[in-house]
Chain A
Amino acid sequence: MTLAAVPSKTPVPDLERVARVDEVGVNERVARFQSRSIKTESKIEALKLVLAMIDLTTLEGQDTPGKVRQLCQKAMHLHDRMPGLPHVAAICVYPTMVAIAKKALGQSGIKVASVATAFPSGMAPRSIKLEETRMAVAEGADEIDMVISRGAFLQGELGFVFDEIAAIKEACGAAHLKVILETGELGTLDRVRRASWLAMHAGADFIKTSTGKIQPAATMPVTLVMLQAIREYWYNKGRMVGMKPAGGIANSKLALHYLVMLRETLGNAWMTPEWFRFGASSLANDVLMQLQKQATGVYQSADYFSKD
């Protein structure tokens, strides 16, 4: 594969000028978010918000149309016995499943997100990545979750990565573009911050931590660094960019810590499914169990909550 880049329309930002990150300081800040105590009505409100922010995800080689339809049913009917619940933000699937999900979700208002660009490795020529993106959009995807070329980024081929994101953004048309940095492969928080900066300048509507296929996936320190980059970008350019931590957020308590972090870093404007998503498959049921506990004072067995 050649790294020779198409000439870019906008100049690649100078990543040397991106703010440094101090890992110890980031971890201390995260510990402060984790020490916030979320009780009673503020807990219920936040748990419902978490549900509304979920990108309910299935990204397996063994996915079938039937499984995707079941997941769509779950997305629309999280737990009908409990009144007043929101639906999730989106279903996240492979491109071949987009049409099936689109049809199953109908007029529910739930978005269809499709991974693209040779997810999860990103190891394919650009022409194929573009074709895959156009195909997913044509099938009805509202959102495209692309992966960056980590190899090129780590080699210092920043122009290549920048142009690729910009090209995919163009191929997305009206669909929103989420750019997956795969932070577990970037190694340092400084690189996470730089990659975030590059993706936002190249046109990302959202930046996203991980594919979920690599460990570590989303962590609070990594997400904080990305939120700080979003804030910096907004200070500089006045454009809001969304955030999606994905992978490893499996329980309510952790999700609430993420909301605390979001609130205290970016403020209320970002506290909606339009600007923040959780990429998760098992989080929803844990949140439902917690909501049940808040309502009745006791936990119910997991068997009372549907698993799709």
Chain B
Amino acid sequence: MDTQTNKLAFDGGWQYAPAPESTDHIHIDERYGLFIGGEFVEPADGGYFTSINPASEEPLAEVATATAADVDRAVAAARKAFKGPWSKMHAAERGKYIYRLARILQERAREFAVIESLDGGKPIRESRDIDIPLAAAHFFYYAGWADKLEYAFPGRKALPLGVAGQVIPWNFPLLMLAWKIAPALACGNAVVLKPAETTPLTALKVAEVVRDAGLPPGVVNILTGAGDTGAAIVNHPDVDKIAFTGSTDVGRSIQKAIAGSGKKYTLELGGKAANIIFADAAIDEAVEGIVNGIFFNQGHVCCAGSRLFVQESVGDEVIRKLKDRMETLIIGDPLDKNTDIGAINSAAQLERIEEYLKIGREEGAEMHQSSCPVPERGYWCRPTIFTGVSQSNRVVQEEIFGPVLAVQTFRTEEEGLTKANNTPYGLSGGVWTDKGAKIFKMTQGVRAGVIWANTFNKFDPTSPFGGYKESGVGREGGLHGLDAYVKLEV
């Protein structure tokens, strides 16, 4: 049968009219200072940079660049807050403040969702249904732990560490902020947090929330800036703990920088997750899982299922269905409620992704992209799959952090496992089969921190998250996430 003529038609015909989310209810200041000691202040050297909307390349706001002097001020404010009210406060009172943050986030969810999509390029459907509700859920979850730490660590006394320096990435700005701040506060620490330079706005909005919620000044400090600001936080002698989410390269340099300093640290780094589809899986639902695994958030997901392994007898079927499904994905205005794939976060990231597309083709892989039209302005990348690749291809080995999937086939469970584990990363993985015994065998065999069975990219505050090998050190989320923010005494 000729598969070329026998093709489903998704172009033309009935189309969805634009359904943009309103921006009337949001307010973004023209210029933001640094949030230190409970108020917005000018940066010491007066420098500002511009945060842009990656879907339109239009400027959104000017944001201060924090230098070493600002980091000094912020760490001092955090130390003062820690010594003063925060660590001495009754734990149940601390919990109340965190609950308050969670409730305000929930109440202002629409506003946060729109700003997250404007600043980062992610579709409003995701920021509205996933990022913001999950961020609020993390605050709710850890608020509950604040006065129950003695049950989290029975027989031991859980003491706060002091000041936590936290550096977060641009792919889930508010959610990563919640992952960092919520457990730190619950355990009684004060924080100095730096959002990524391309996505600072929701963190600055959280600064407003922190102020409005009446948290003691200095408990939460937000410093904007680029890599130098992050380095100044990491290297500050009065910081007791570093929590970093980002690239493996930066994670490695952080580990070097703080070696011997006694600082406690958690690093959540890159990934190149294997998504393994067996012939006996529910194939149509597995195809959804592949799409969700790699095209969620434009593939800007450290646990993205970027390596697909399909059992060979269903290889052609899965690829055909995947290609048809890709044709139904809508790329465009992140604020449109029907958009499936938004803008690539920055020009630099788009360049990096396009470089990998070039490498993939040059290495002889077959590239397929969906035919969806993309806007003229802004940074866009169509959903892409590479077939005809092997473990030796760079697009299989290296983290691309974009909507790019490398597809290989396998024959036996052993071959699938070997290939899945043949990577320096180990953050996540997925297994798709109708057979329970195979789920247990495969999920025990894949060396990664999170493994999903018959689903992908599911997150919950109660579930720990973190990597093996070059994917990181330590766990965030759940009971394990508390451990990173306490010292235990008998």
Contact = CB atoms under 8 A, between A and B. Distances in A.
Contact of A37 (B6, B11, B317, B338): B338
A42 B17 contact: yes
B132 to A, nearest CB: 15
Contacts of B328: 263-264
A124 B18 CA distance: 52
Interface stretch (A157-165, A242-250, A267-275): A267-275
A237 B282 CA distance: 21
Given A35-B125, A36-B16, A42-B17, A26 B285 contact: yes
Interface string A26-39: 10110000011111
B209 interface: no
Interface string B1-42: 100001011111111111100000000000000000000000
Contacts of A303: none
A268 B10 contact: yes
Contacts of B454: 22, 24-25
Contacts of B288: 25, 28-29
B6 A266 contact: no
B434 interface: yes
A17 B13 CA distance: 34
A231 B282 CA distance: 15
A235 B9 contact: no
Interface string B297-330: 0000000000000000000010010001000100
Of listed B1, B284, B289, B337, residue having the most chain A CB within 10 A? B284
Contact of A268 (B1, B13, B320): B13
Interface in B420-468: 434, 454-455
A228 interface: yes
Interface residues of B, number: 34
Given A25-B289, A228-B284, A41 B434 contact: no
A20 B16 CA distance: 31
Contacts of B324: 267
Contacts, number: 90
Given A24-B454, A24-B455, A37-B337, A42 B285 contact: no
Contact of B17 (A39, A235, A238): A39
B415 interface: no
Interface of B is mostly: loop
Contacts of A41: 17
The number of chain A residues touching the other chain, given as a range, is 35 or more
B6 A45 contact: no
B316 to A, nearest CB: 10
Contacts of B282: 19-22, 25
A19 B6 CA distance: 20
A234 B14 contact: no
Given A238-B6, A268-B9, A268-B12, A19 B338 contact: no
B91 interface: no
B462 to A, nearest CB: 19
B281 interface: yes
9 closest cross-chain pairs (CB), A and B: A25-B285, A268-B13, A22-B282, A37-B19, A267-B8, A42-B17, A22-B285, A37-B337, A20-B282
Given A19-B283, A24-B285, A42-B14, 6 more contacts: A29-B288, A38-B16, A39-B17, A228-B284, A263-B13, A268-B11
Interface of A: 19-22, 24-26, 28-29, 35-43, 45-46, 49, 228, 231, 234-236, 238, 259, 263-264, 266-269, 271
